[in-house]
Structure 1
Amino acid sequence: MPSRHDIVTFHDPPVPPGSTMYVPGAGPAREVHVEEPDERWSGWFDDLAGRVRQALGWRVLDLQHIGSTSVPGLAAKPVIDIDLVVADAADEAAYVPALEAHGFELRVREPWWFEHRVLRHTHPRCHLHVFGPDAPEPVKHRIFRDWLRGNPDERDLYARAKREAAEAARAAGEHSMQYNARKEKVVREIYARAFAATGLLDGPS
């Protein structure tokens, strides 16, 4: 179980020299398109979650729809983000082949960041983020999702930031990681308010 400190801390370790987060042949998406909310997204998650559970069975410790497509009414890139928690994210042999048999493809390997892995699915489009039980990121992601679901003003603020970041990234010919960086300031401001509301972080005096 992650500590309170780790949950409220943004861990941004540099990529070790000579390393890359992407497996051979992979890289960031070159096109960034934020679309209006689509009621189909929840159904896409249900389909993908069923595939993961069929592949891994009891090895699924937790499986959550996270990211913008998990928030009703929020504009998003039409890619379903899912957090999968397994016993040991570093033990790829325990889950990657089984997921590959169900249409997922390993794209990202970050052992320096909580042993994070990402597998991609194309129909429907999905990024499956894999962590171990001690990683704070799945907890962060659920807090952010639930805060946006319960606070329409924050959801709308985030939607504006996403649209502005996407427009600027497209104009500059940037990829998805650069788009993420453009909206990071607003994301962290929203997180701070959510952490304070949950009691994880002291609010303003």
Structure 2
Amino acid sequence: MNVEIEHIGSTSVPGLAAKPIIDIVVTVEDITAEEDFLDPLLAAGYGLRVREPGHRLVRTSAQDVHVHLFERGDPEVGEYLLLRDHLRSDADDRALYEIAKRALLSKEWDDMNDYTKAKTDVILTIKARAREARGR
């Protein structure tokens, strides 16, 4: 099986404050062929957290490693890499993102998905600047 693996998320950006969670994105040939990738991850102790069209998410029982699985060519992978690469190279946007994250983390969240959704506006702003910087 041919896969591609990328470290994403805040821990992939040197100098960016991050929760102690490693986020990984893995691309596979066929997201519906779960026996090729999901079964081995489950056997290794990961738990399936999300199964939706085009995307699977598994994580460790300690919830300190999240593995996002997508089919090769899925545009969502490019979005993760666009944000990561821009934050690695742009100190001002890295600082903006960190300030936004710290402000959100100071609040009580019943569901961390709500925290993730609350970051959407700043992420979209940063990705727009990343596209502009790349001329696309």
TM-score (norm 2): 0.93
Larger Rg: 1
Equivalent of 2:57 in 99, 106, 118? 118
Equivalent residues, number: 136
Counterpart of 1:167 in structure 2 is 106
Is 1:80 the counterpart of 2:19? The answer is no
CA distance in structure 2 between the aligned counterparts of 1:147 and 1:122, rounded to whole angstroms? 31
Across the aligned residues of Structure 1 and Structure 2, the Cα RMSD in angstroms comes to 1.5
Higher strand share: 2
Which runs of 5 or more residues in structure 1 are unaligned? 1-58, 201-205
Counterpart of 2:39 in structure 1 is 97
Residues 46-87 of structure 1: per-residue CA shift (max 9 Å, x gap): xxxxxxxxxxxxx24210000111001111221111000000
Residues 65-123 of structure 1: per-residue CA shift (max 9 Å, x gap): 00111001111221111000000112211111111222222110011xxx100011245
What letter corresponds to residue 199 of structure 1 in structure 2? G
CA distance in structure 2 between the aligned counterparts of 1:122 and 1:76, rounded to whole angstroms? 19
Q: Which runs of 4+ in 1 moved over 4 A?
A: none
**Percent identity of equivalent pairs:** 42
CA distance in structure 2 between the aligned counterparts of 1:178 and 1:102, rounded to whole angstroms? 29
Which runs of 5 or more residues in structure 2 are unaligned? none
What letter corresponds to residue 102 of structure 1 in structure 2? A
CA distance in structure 2 between the aligned counterparts of 1:199 and 1:156, rounded to whole angstroms? 22
What letter corresponds to residue 26 of structure 2 in structure 1? L
